[in-house]
Amino acid sequence: MKSCSVFSILSDGKAYKVYLSIPTYTMSVTTIKVRTATKQALDTLREYPGESYDRLVGKAVHIAKTAKKEPKLSQATIRQIEEARERFTRGEYYTEDQAWKILGVDDV
């Protein structure tokens, strides 16, 4: 869907109309009902506060599809994600500045 905006520009005493076509996109949304236990399970998948339920459901769908296609790879990946979350919870991570320093990048 595109919308068209019209702007008037005055230059050298003359008026010009400028037509600007700007693509606009709207996201279709819907409401779903889930049990409280399901919502709580989704909440445990959050990687950061405020992560949307749309993103959480999307991740769960991706994991389910991957697990169906490649079960061994999926289990290893899930284990790695869980281990990374545990390290993050324990505070075992680098800040952005520390990471750049480790990589030898001084000018960021």
pTM: 0.46
pLDDT tens, the chain, 108 aa long: 455 555 566 666 676 666 666 666 677 888 889 899 999 998 888 888 888 999 999 988 888 888 788 877 777 888 888 898 898 889 888 888 888 888 888 776
Radius of gyration of the chain (CA): 24
Specify which residues 8 forms β-bridges with: 17
